[in-house]
Amino acid sequence: MGFFLLLFSNNSLLIGIVGLLLVVWALRSLGRTKKNKNKLLPPPEVRGAWPVIGHLRLLTSGKQPLARTLGRMADEYGAIFSIRVGMQRSVVISSWETAMESFSANDKLLADRPHSCAGKYIGYEYAVLPFALHGPFWRSMRKLVVVEMLSNNTLEKLKSVWTSELDANLKGLFSPTGKALDMSEWFGHLTMNIVVKLLGGRTNDPDKEAAAIDADVEETRRMAKVFNEIMRLTGELAPGDSFYPSGLVRWLDFGGTVASMKRAAKELDCIFRKWIDEHVERRSNAAAAGGGEDDRDFIDVLLSVIDGKFESVGHSYTRETVIKAALHSVLVDGADTLGLNLEWVLSVLLNNPFALKKVQEEMDTIIAGNERWVQDSDIEQMVYFQAAVKEAMRLYPAAPLLFPHRAMEDCTIGGYVVAKGTILYPNVWKIHRDPRVWPEPEKFSPERFMGRDERETDPSRHFGYIPFGIGRRSCPGISYALKVTHLAIARLIQGFIITTPGNMPVDMSEGQAITLLRATPLEVHITPRLPSSFYE
């Protein structure tokens, strides 16, 4: 909101710009009135909109997460309602029925993304999958990420890459007498270390010299810092996204958001370019020596599969840009939201000690007496544990508002017309608390996920449970996220007795961001639960 302060400190600038925006707003409102004449009504609009800025003051004035604010609006206006984010008309859906209608009958019509400063300046001109505009390139990029990078087959081939990182981080927690730990920080390091290693920023060479290892660690820290800045900027309101003419507003760049995006994107690009160059050189040297190399990580996979065919899908992106965009796409899902999932799952279990004990007992029974670390194959048999993870993600979805969709044509949802160009926001937080689908929705009850048809609890098929989104634009990394979440939480619970300071309940307050951050760090005390040989 810094650009508002700049405006109000300069009266001449304020009068000129507000006057221009009022003219544009009036012309757009007149156009909408004519266009929608004699058609179905649009969804009810929240009261209190101001000219030009719309409902921004209502959306940014509270201390609660935006999803909760929109949830209260749904209580008053219904499961589908309209808001104006600046001059951009938007619609919020808040029930499984509106989600089903949006992402089944209207899935294709709502498969586009809005133009945004983040997509343009951070997302390699809309090449990064979450920002990519609907069309041939998006379809090719999604296929590349889903089939070549995040498929079960690829994840199995590269399993040792991420499991070795998990093991190393877990063993690093060992202290004979126990120790205090900030789990929020630890989960952040863990997920960033795993995804950087999978992408190809750190090698698995056991003979690597200490100086090179230190350089890897420092580069991972640099990556984490720039990525956190990128996530912050992605969730920040950029004036060019909400006011018209957008090109002029972006050029003026009130508050410097666009400049910050460009700086962060440039730094991330430098890291990606260095990694790609190192891989190209290594593969070239191996070929010159008369041999080849197996794919060690995602960059190797991408260099193996991307060729001229991908570049001929009617876009101007270079091979290197496509690779960088694919890496960025995985980074978004593999670091930020995954780390938050881990935080919330553990937080919920700590606040429900009976469930935590039941998970440990289930695990101990299946692995027959703590003789080894829990494996993927064990988790398939841990029915209660899987249900507990699902229930935690229902209560605290890492993405409480899904990435915005854009209507490519007029469509009908809930008996209302959603006009072409409207931005649609699915409120996952509210959908997950629908008492018609989830009795006593605020209660933690893993049992609600047990004994039910898989279609009712599958996050890719059930419209009342969408922690990873649903439809054409659903998260491509569901399988990866669940694999890491299950194994990381299971081994953490197996390997350590985890308590809170003073055995007090965990503070479950939520922060304000594009994703569901904890308002306070998750601080715990951990004590080894297994023989010391497990941590060697």
Give the residue ranges of the annotated binding site for heme.
475
Question: Parallel, antiparallel, or unpaired: how do β-strands 416-418 and 523-528 relate?
Answer: unpaired
Q: How many helices (H) and strands (E) does the chain have?
A: 24, 9
The DSSP output letter for 400 is: S
Written as one letter, the residue type at 519 is A
The one-letter amino acid at 414: G
Judged by DSSP in three states, 296 sits in coil
Tokens of 389: 């993870």
425: three-class secondary structure by DSSP: strand
Task: Report the 10 Å Cβ neighbour count for 118.
Answer: 24
Residue 498: closest CA among 533, 524, 530: 524
C-alpha span between 201 and 328 (Å, rounded): 12
Backbone phi and psi for residue 510, each to the nearest 5 degrees, phi listed first: -105, 140
What does the DSSP assignment read for 224-243? Answer: HHHHHHHHHHHTS--HHHHS
Binding-site positions: 475
- Overall residue count recorded for the chain in this entry: 536
Q: How far is CA 371 from the centre of its chain?
A: 36
